[in-house]
Structure 1
Amino acid sequence: MVKPTKPADGADPRSWLRGAPPPRWVRVLPVLLLVGVGAASLSESVPLDIGFLLGAVPPLAVLAYGPLATALLGASTIVLLTVPFFHLNRPGNTDLFTLGFVATLSIFVSFVRGRRDQQLDLERTVAETAQRAIVPDVQRTVGPVRCASLYRAAERGTLVGGDFFDVRAGPHGVRAVLGDVQGHGLSAVATVASVMGAFREAVLDDVDAESIAARLDRRLVVDSAARA
């Protein structure tokens, strides 16, 4: 079996709305909007009434940047509105206060998002490492049996779940197991660890497949009773 791995180019299999780094166009958008408004204001000799577009820069920055970059882009919007060199209609105090509030709120949201993403990445890494340790790559040859496999998660970008498989050679022949534990995440990984441990012991001790299946079933019953 071929275990799920990230692409060779290092791309994240998740979508950017599920925690992957944002695509390039998302990072460029707030900068492009800021530069576009500034360039348009300099190209005209009369004040332009397009300063309202700058209010979108800080919220867009939240999608791709951290607090420092978001603060820098927010400050740039205020400078662009207030410096006479740029031919924009002068905003009133209320407009500046509103833009300042939006920029400050965007900085806070960016900080919270960054901390959340770090925590999710840590949990994902721990869970994936645990699953890879429990369900390692199947060898190409196990005894006289040639093996190959493919593990593809039903949900894109999901590598942690209850699917498990293994092929082991024992004194009584080659044995294979394939199953799916209900659920996802660390709870499913814990059940997989229990089942896989029981299977690997059974391969060494039990003569026939029926005895191995009975041992796995007993292991699940004991674990279910312990969690109840």
Structure 2
Amino acid sequence: MERIDRRKRQREWFRVGDCDVAWLVPLLLLMGIAAVDLLTSEQFRIVSWIVLVPSIAAALCGVGTTVVFALLSLVTYVAVDTVYPNQYRAGNADFVLVALGGALAVIAAEARARRERREGHMRDIAETTRRTVLRPLPPGWAGLEHAGVYLAADTDARVGGDFYDIQPGPHGTRVLVGDVQGKGLGAVETAAALLGTFREAAYHEPDLATVADRLETRMYRHRGHTAALGRYDGERFATAVLLSFPQREGDTVEIINFGHEAPLAVGPRGVRPLPGTERLPIGFGHLTEGLAGGAADLPSADLPAKVPAEALAPELHPDETLLVVTDGVTEARDRRGEFYTLVRELDRALARDPGRAAPKRLVRTVRDGVLRHTRGRLADDTTVFAVRRMADTSD
């Protein structure tokens, strides 16, 4: 998992090696004001500008450092001002100004420190939530080579409605990648509900179509529960791609597409979309002729009883990687409003280096391309997930 942390990058400007040198900025300002005041004539006094020093410290440094600069500003003011004859001294009024400015700077630094601690706590909670929803996947999990990147558009929240997971089981290894409509905790809750159902159904159900039906049922149950709690947030839905790598020998992969961008087969021969059984987004199944059975507890009594469609199983060559992205990639725009052309960029990258089809390199290529195209200004949460069967190294 990777993310963008603008605040951390901004702090890097004030580091030399492992040392934070932000205190150099107010120190140089203090020395500069004192030097200019001493080197100019009595008619040009700027010693009272020292009031700016603790304010700068409050913006860049901690509370303790700000207190030091507030006191140092007072001492420097008195030392510089007493050099001049009485008739040219700035006097007590400016001394009070510097003292008051230092006190206000310390208060501001303390308020900023409290806010940053609170934001840090919220980021830790969001990080824990993200790891709960998007659990870490072991390398080579279930015989699949995989890689995934999640980039949150809201860098403070670090979590949104994008989700993915791999679930091995007795009927093959299933993969789910999707995007819940909307943002905020409601989207996160929906993603967690779908992933929980996927992990159980993908393990137990022999048919991928039944797993898809269970996801549809879970969405209706979840919406009914939130509505009963008084938190009805509209007809929330999710687009997703549901995959299955059967245990039987062969290079086929079963695909059910819930209104998502088609998965791409990426390999040395280029990029091609893989067809799959097309369904409406998860949550809109009542608009077609079918929904999984066992829906007696759903709020709508007139929901259909069964979806008969089976998953299509196109061929995936051994040297091809299956790539699934969310709309954070397909709808990424630059400053001129032009979309990121994923297929064209991948074709160019593969032409230069066919080895980029490996999952880790492929995910890194797409991630870097999107960030470069948008200049780091993501308009939506972005997920890039790549997976393929691991090469059989047995004799």
Normalised by the size of structure 1, how large is the TM-score? 0.80
Equivalent residue, structure 2, for 1:4:
2
Instruction: State the superposition RMSD in angstroms.
Output: 2.9
Is the Cα–Cα contact under 8 Å of residues 81 and 90 in structure 2 kept in the other structure? no
Q: 1:225 to 1:168 in 2, by over 3 A?
A: same
SS, match of residue 90 in structure 2: coil
Q: 1:107 to 1:155 in 2, by over 3 A?
A: same
1:26 Cα deviation after fit = 4.7
Structure (1 or 2) with the greater helix fraction: 1
* Alignment equivalent of 1:80, drawn from 76, 82, 93: 76
User: Which amino acid in structure 1 is aligned with residue 210 of structure 2?
Assistant: S
* Alignment equivalent of 2:13, drawn from 7, 12, 23: 23
Equivalent residue, structure 1, for 2:152:
153
1:152 Cα deviation after fit = 3.1
Q: Does 1:226 align with 2:216?
A: no
Q: 1:93 to 1:84 in 2, by over 3 A?
A: same
Equivalent residue, structure 2, for 1:102:
101
After superposition, the C-alpha distances for 1:96-140 in whole angstroms (9 at most, x for unaligned) are 222222221111111111111111111111211221133123334
Is the Cα–Cα contact under 8 Å of residues 202 and 212 in structure 1 kept in the other structure? yes
Query: Distance between the aligned counterparts of 1:148 and 1:66, measured in 2?
Result: 39
For structure 1, the residue ranges without an aligned partner over 5 or more in a row are: 6-12
User: Which amino acid in structure 1 is aligned with residue 54 of structure 2?
Assistant: P
Is the Cα–Cα contact under 8 Å of residues 80 and 86 in structure 1 kept in the other structure? no
Query: Distance between the aligned counterparts of 1:27 and 1:149, measured in 2?
Result: 39
After superposition, the C-alpha distances for 1:153-191 in whole angstroms (9 at most, x for unaligned) are 345576322211011111221111001224445444333
Larger radius of gyration: 2
Q: Does 1:212 align with 2:211?
A: yes
Equivalent residue, structure 2, for 1:113:
112
Is the Cα–Cα contact under 8 Å of residues 203 and 212 in structure 1 kept in the other structure? yes
Is the Cα–Cα contact under 8 Å of residues 19 and 117 in structure 1 kept in the other structure? no
Equivalent residue, structure 1, for 2:126:
127
Structure number with greater CO (CA < 8 Å, separation at least 6) is: 1
Structure (1 or 2) with the greater strand fraction: 2
Equivalent residue, structure 1, for 2:60:
64
Q: Does 1:34 align with 2:36?
A: no
Query: Distance between the aligned counterparts of 1:61 and 1:46, measured in 2?
Result: 28
Aligned residue-pair number: 217
The range that moved more, 205-214 or 165-174, is 205-214
Query: Distance between the aligned counterparts of 1:90 and 1:62, measured in 2?
Result: 28
Is the Cα–Cα contact under 8 Å of residues 133 and 195 in structure 2 kept in the other structure? yes
Query: Distance between the aligned counterparts of 1:107 and 1:120, measured in 2?
Result: 20
Q: 1:102 to 1:165 in 2, by over 3 A?
A: same
